Amino acid sequence: MGSTACFVMVSKNDIPIYEAEVGIVPKKEDAAHQHQFILHAALDIVQDLAWTTSAMFLKAIDRFNDLVVSVYVTAVLCASFFQEVHELYIKTLLNPLYLPGSRITSSHFDTKVRALARKYL
């Protein structure tokens, strides 16, 4: 599969507030959906696991076929990639016009996340 990856930020209430296909974007649209489906399903595990460990970074908590799910749980939301994105997210949260829990539509955020993905992944 190469270095294909999908990055999704999920707010509480299970709303995806940011999604990006990073790395080599899969050619087939199906596969892209598959990534999200796996991430969505992994939330069940994250939800349970987050309570049992104090670690923020949960590496490879779930997998399906060749796809492995790693999660970075923040107080409100590789390791360095997640950390930097977390910082970005905090900056976004500080924006008074951003309502916590709603979709992140900032193109700046998107550009930064993709740049970080190229750097680390």
Residue ranges in contact with other proteins by CB under 8 A? 13-16, 19, 33, 36-38, 40-45, 48-49, 52, 62-65, 99, 101-103, 105
Q: How far is the CB of 11 from other proteins (least distance, A)?
A: 8
What is the closest distance, in whole angstroms, from the C-beta atom of residue 40 to other proteins in the complex?
5
- Per residue, the 3-state secondary structure of 25-76, as one string, reads CCCCHHHHHHHHHHHHHHHHHHHHHHHHCCCCEEEEEEEECCEEEEEECCCC
| Token digits of residue 100 | 């916590």
For other proteins, the closer of residues 3 and 65 by Cβ is: 65
